Amino acid sequence: MLLPRLVEAEILEKELENPNLLIIDLCRNEYYQKHHIPGAIHLEYGAIVRNAPPVGGLLPTEADLSKLFSAIGLTPELHVVAYDDEGGGKAARLIWTLACIGHHNASMLNGGLFAWGNEGHPTSDRPQQPTPSTYTANISSDAMAHINADEVVAALNSESALLDARSEGEYLGTKKFAERAGRIPGAIHMEWTKMMDQPNNMRLKPLESVRGMLQEHGIKDGQEVIAYCQTHHRSALSWFVLDLLGYRARGYEGSWSDWGNRSDTPIEI
């Protein structure tokens, strides 16, 4: 791997001229137009999710992913660096999507635009035009990064853990954003922002500190952990951190917008 999975701004700055890097900006477009990492290609978050109301946050089709990644110039050899302006949720969702199609050469910029801009690294206001490629995306049916509702149901009586990254109100069922409120039975609650060191320019907390938090919640080292939220946006960051820490991390596409709008899935309140 060209860069560590979680890369710091000072390391990335040294590699900006590396032709084997593809830097992808998932910030709001108005931010990108004003200041972005030199050479970064802008990608709207909506391009990497598929909605089938009332379910949101699904994986796009292979055809749509192939078209998207070809348009931004991705090739199997390129190492992707993703960043955003919210602490990593959007960037992590892109990295999870890439993992689902077997593209594992990908890193997240720790702290994203906040760390980059606030700590004096160079920025540009010149949009970067990608050089299109021909990329074929194949979603592996046995990709460990991915899990669907039927597989979650099957895992309920297994050794797998469930990590709910939503707000406390959503977890307790007092906030309802689907036909049914509540949580997946047995799910452990750890809101996604608990993993962030927000005063430190939105970086992640030290990984061993996060590991300790997970252990306090009963999650064991090496355990399979299924992360979910409302649409696998917030929980994409949870998945990314779990993966960094060596857990067998899986992300539930659709998440509660799928589970809570079905009639055949058990819930707990």
The domain segmentation of the chain, as residue ranges, is: 6-118, 146-259
Q: What is the pLDDT of residues 64-86, one digit of tens each?
A: 999 999 999 999 999 999 999 99
Q: What is the pLDDT of residues 184-210, one digit of tens each?
A: 999 999 999 999 999 999 999 999 999
The band of 123, judged by pLDDT with boundaries at 50, 70 and 90, is very high
What is the amino acid identity at position 244?
A: L
HSE (CB half, 13 Å, CA atoms) of 62? 9
* Catalytic residue, candidates 145, 195, 226, 229: 229
Question: How far, in Å, are 57, 131, 158, 244, 257 from residue 53 at the CA level?
Answer: 10, 34, 30, 32, 9
CATH class for the domain made up of 6-118? alpha beta
DSSP class of residue 5 equals S
Could you give the residue ranges of the DSSP H alpha helices within the chain? 9-13, 29-34, 62-71, 89-100, 112-118, 149-155, 168-172, 207-216, 234-244, 255-259
Cβ(227)–Cβ(238) under 8 Å? yes
**Predicted pLDDT of residue 144:** 82
The residues, ordered by sequence, that sit 6+ positions from 160 with a Cβ below 8 Å of its Cβ are: 223, 224, 225, 226
Q: How would you list the strands of the sheet with 21-25, edge to edge?
A: 6-7, 106-109, 79-83, 21-25, 41-42
Determine whether 229 is an active site residue: yes
The yes-or-no answer to whether 6-118 and 146-259 have a common fold is yes
Please check the confidence at residue 142 and state whether its pLDDT lies above 80: no
Please check the confidence at residue 259 and state whether its pLDDT lies above 70: yes
Measured at the CA of 79, the angle between CA 34 and CA 140, to 5 degrees, comes to 115
Q: What CATH number is given for 146-259 in this structure?
A: 3.40.250.10
Q: Which two tokens stand for residue 109?
A: 């910029």
Length of the chain in terms of residues written: 269
Cβ(106)–Cβ(80) under 8 Å? yes
